[in-house]
């Protein structure tokens, strides 16, 4: 009797598939929705790739504006960045995230370090959050001595940012390192969470009212949860629900200021708002919430050249400028 061939059990935007026999098929190409053309000239930014974790073959893409500022020897703030993709797909090398980081490096301006991390289902949570910590340790130990960065990066003005899954990693970096956890030479000035990935056992209104044509649907979020959570964990697992009932309190952690960006038509909108409320009212953190009207999840990655993306770049730039020298 012939054996039934394996079939697809879970499909993440065609980029990774879990098969019925437990094998995983991962495409070498980006998900089609994230493919786009990058303008010629790279926006006055040079970039190169490095391996920051040889053990797991994890790479970072480093961005540096050609002209550092009014003075040729002026150093720029550093923005460590983590891409989105539901913890299952994505890379800083994908065109959408590359375009976004080019814009940030050019328009803030800043030295941008775009870090990859291990992906599920091959590596379930908290692997991604652990890699976020490794990336920050690499920044501390390597960036100051790297000849390509040493004369450009001001490590006393470091910001951490990310979108979706990367926004979640940013939270965990903030919770782990606070303001001074990277030592006296690296100062973490603030954090930018763009529609950070969060889940929970109790449905929110945004999840219940999700439209079937949404960029991120409730069904897709549930699929990601099945692929990323460790055995026995629920959607209240603290790695994915950092403001949920099982999450540890953060009262004692001295964090820098935080900017959280939500989108009106994103299923994560209510969770992002609850996160901000708990961070401010229960844990006493300095957090600003900005919601973009009439936008979907990760709108800036889908179209890095839209008017709302222009507005988002200005918002991030203002946050960085306002907090570069705060104590």
> Which H or E run contains 106?
helix 95-107
Q: In whole angstroms, give the CA distance from residue 327 to residue 183.
A: 15
Q: In whole angstroms, give the CA distance from residue 132 to residue 113.
A: 12
Cα-to-chain-centroid distance, residue 230: 20
Q: Which residue has the tokens 């697992």?
A: 237
The residues annotated as belonging to the active site are: 164, 266, 297
Q: In whole angstroms, give the CA distance from residue 240 to residue 254.
A: 21
Q: Which of 75, 72, 89, 68 is nearest to 14 (CA)?
A: 89
Q: Tell me whether the omega of the peptide bond preceding residue 323 falls within 30 degrees of 0, making it cis.
A: no
Asked whether the beta carbons of 26 and 15 are under 8 A apart, the reply is yes
Q: Tell me whether the omega of the peptide bond preceding residue 91 falls within 30 degrees of 0, making it cis.
A: no
Q: Which of 242, 292, 246, 243 is nearest to 269 (CA)?
A: 292
Cα-to-chain-centroid distance, residue 118: 13
* Residue partners of 186: CB distance under 8 A and separation at least 6: 139, 140, 155, 156, 158
């Amino acid at each position: 009797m012939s054996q039934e061939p394996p079939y697809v059990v879970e499909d993440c935007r065609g980029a990774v598939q879990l098969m019925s026999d437990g094998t995983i098929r991962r495409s070498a190409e980006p998900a089609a929705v994230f493919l786009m053309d990058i303008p010629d000239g790279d926006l006055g930014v040079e970039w190169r790739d490095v391996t920051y974790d040889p053990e797991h073959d994890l790479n970072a893409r480093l961005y540096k504006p050609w002209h550092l500022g009014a003075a040729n020897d002026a150093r720029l703030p550093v923005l460590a960045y983590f891409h989105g993709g539901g913890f299952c797909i994505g890379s800083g090398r994908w065109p959408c995230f590359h375009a976004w980081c080019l814009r940030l490096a050019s328009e803030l301006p800043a030295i941008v370090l775009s870090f990859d991390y291990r992906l599920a289902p091959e590596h379930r949570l908290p692997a991604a959050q652990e890699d976020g910590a490794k990336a920050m340790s690499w920044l501390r130990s390597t960036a100051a001595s790297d000849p390509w960065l040493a004369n450009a990066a001001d490590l006393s003005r470091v910001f951490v940012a990310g979108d979706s899954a990367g926004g979640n990693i940013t939270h965990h970096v903030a919770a782990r390192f606070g303001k001074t956890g990277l030592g006296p030479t690296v100062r973490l000035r603030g954090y930018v969470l763009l529609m950070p990935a969060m889940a929970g056992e109790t449905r929110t209104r945004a999840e219940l009212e999700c439209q079937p044509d949404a960029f991120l649907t409730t069904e897709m979020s549930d699929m990601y949860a099945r692929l990323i959570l460790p055995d026995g964990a629920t959607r209240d697992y603290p790695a994915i629900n950092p403001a949920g009932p099982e999450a540890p309190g953060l009262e004692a952690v001295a964090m820098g200021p935080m900017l959280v960006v939500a989108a009106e038509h994103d299923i994560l909108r209510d969770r992002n708002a609850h996160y901000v409320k708990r961070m401010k009212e229960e844990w006493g953190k300095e957090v600003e919430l900005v919601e973009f009207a009439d936008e979907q999840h990760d709108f800036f990655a889908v179209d890095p050249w839209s008017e709302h993306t222009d507005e988002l770049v200005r918002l991030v730039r203002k946050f960085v400028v306002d907090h570069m020298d705060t104590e």
